[in-house]
C-alpha cells in the first residue's frame, strides 16, 4: 500500500526520525516510537460530524501534510505505507476490542510484520491503552515491560491472540486477533460505524492521546490528564480553552481544513 503522494523522507520528517533507515527490526522499532511520540491519536473529524477517510492518499495528506493525527485506520495505515516503502512484509489484522462491557465486533486495526524470520505485532492506534513497542508473537504468557507499562500476549479460549495490560495488579483484556490477512477496504464498515453510529465512543466523546517517552497526555471530553513515570495528574478543561490545549499538548493545527 503505497499511495502516489507518499514520500518516505517527508514521513520521516513528520515523525522526527533521523539517521539511516534499513529494512531491519531496529529501524522499525525506532519508527514506531517516533510516530507514537509525534502523531497523536485523535477523533476531531468525527467530533465535527465527518466520516473519516481511509483512502491512503487522504490519510497521508491529513497526517503528514496537514500535521494532524488520526485513529487506528489512519495512524496504522500511515505506518503500513512506510513499511511498504521499505520493502518489509506486513499485513493488517482485525482485532476485537475487549475494553467494553459487552462483546464487540472486530473494529480495531493492527499490523503484523514479518522481519528477520519473526512475526511482530505493531499497533500505533489503540489510544491510551496501546503498546509502545513491537510485541513478538512468540512471547506468550510472559510480562512484557515497555517503559512504565506492562503487557502480556496470550491465547484466548477461541484460539486467538489476546493482548492484555497490567493495571493496579490486575490483567485487563485489550483486544484479540488472529492472523487472517485484511485489506484496508475491509475496514470500511467498521470505520463508518466508528465515525457515525451514535453509540460509538468516538462520536460520543472527544479523544486525543499523545504518547511520550515517560508516559502520555490524554484529553477525554473535558478532562485532561498527564501520566509521567507512572504518576497521574489531571484537571477539567473549559471548552473555550480546548483549542489552545490541543496545540500546546498535542501539536495539533490546521483543524478546520
Paired sense of beta strands 144-146 and 149-155, if any: antiparallel
Which residue ranges of the chain lie beneath pLDDT 50?
none
Domains and CATH numbers, the chain: 8-250 (3.30.2140.20)
- Taking 3-state DSSP, the helix, strand and coil percentages for the chain, each rounded to the nearest 5, stand at 30, 30, 40
pLDDT for position 255:
67
Residue with cell 512484557: 144
pLDDT of residue 17: 98
Query: What is the pTM for the complete model shown?
Result: 0.96
pLDDT of residue 257: 58
For residues 155-170, one letter each, b for 16 or more C-beta atoms within 10 angstroms of the residue's C-beta and e for the rest, the string is eeeeebbbbbbeeeee
Predicted pLDDT of residue 168: 86
Return the C-alpha torsion angle 134, 136, 139, 144, nearest 10.
-10
pLDDT of residue 51: 95
**Are the beta carbons of 115 and 28 closer than 8 angstroms?**
yes
Phi, psi angles (nearest 5°) of residue 42: -155, 155
Residue 141's pLDDT is: 97
Joined grid coordinates for residue 89: 512484509
At 203, give phi and psi (nearest 5°): -80, -40
Neighbours of 231 (CB within 10 A): 10
Residues 6+ apart with CB under 8 A from 226: 215, 216, 217, 218, 232, 233, 234
- Computed on alpha carbons and rounded to an integer, the radius of gyration of the chain in Å comes to 17
Q: How far apart, in whole angstroms, are the C-alpha atoms of residue 172 and residue 183?
A: 28
pLDDT of residue 158: 86
Amino acid at each position: 500500500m503505497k499511495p502516489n503522494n507518499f514520500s518516505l523522507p517527508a514521513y520521516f520528517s513528520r515523525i522526527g526520525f533521523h539517521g539511516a533507515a534499513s529494512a531491519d527490526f531496529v529501524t522499525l522499532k525506532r519508527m514506531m516510537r517516533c510516530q507514537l511520540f509525534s502523531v497523536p491519536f485523535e477523533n476531531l473529524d468525527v467530533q465535527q460530524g465527518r466520516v473519516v477517510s481511509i483512502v491512503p492518499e487522504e490519510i497521508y495528506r491529513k497526517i503528514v501534510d496537514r500535521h494532524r493525527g488520526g485513529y487506528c485506520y489512519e495512524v496504522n495505515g500511515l505506518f503500513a505505507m512506510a513499511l511498504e516503502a521499505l520493502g518489509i512484509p506486513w499485513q493488517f489484522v482485525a482485532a476485537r476490542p475487549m475494553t467494553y462491557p459487552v462483546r464487540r465486533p472486530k473494529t480495531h486495526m493492527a499490523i503484523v510484520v514479518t522481519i528477520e524470520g519473526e512475526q511482530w505485532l505493531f499497533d500505533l492506534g489503540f489510544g491510551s491503552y496501546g503498546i509502545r513497542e513491537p510485541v513478538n508473537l512468540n512471547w506468550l504468557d510472559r510480562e512484557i515491560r515497555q517503559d512504565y507499562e506492562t503487557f502480556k500476549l496470550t491465547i484466548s479460549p477461541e484460539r486467538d491472540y489476546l493482548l492484555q495490560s497490567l493495571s493496579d495488579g490486575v490483567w485487563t483484556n485489550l483486544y484479540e486477533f488472529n492472523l487472517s490477512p485484511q485489506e484496508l477496504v475491509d475496514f470500511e464498515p467498521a470505520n463508518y460505524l466508528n465515525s457515525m453510529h451514535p453509540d460509538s465512543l468516538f462520536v460520543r466523546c472527544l479523544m486525543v492521546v499523545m504518547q511520550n517517552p515517560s508516559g502520555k497526555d490524554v484529553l477525554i471530553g473535558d478532562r485532561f490528564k498527564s501520566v509521567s513515570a507512572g504518576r497521574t495528574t489531571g484537571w477539567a478543561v473549559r471548552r473555550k480553552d480546548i483549542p489552545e490545549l490541543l496545540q500546546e499538548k498535542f501539536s495539533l493545527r490546521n483543524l478546520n481544513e
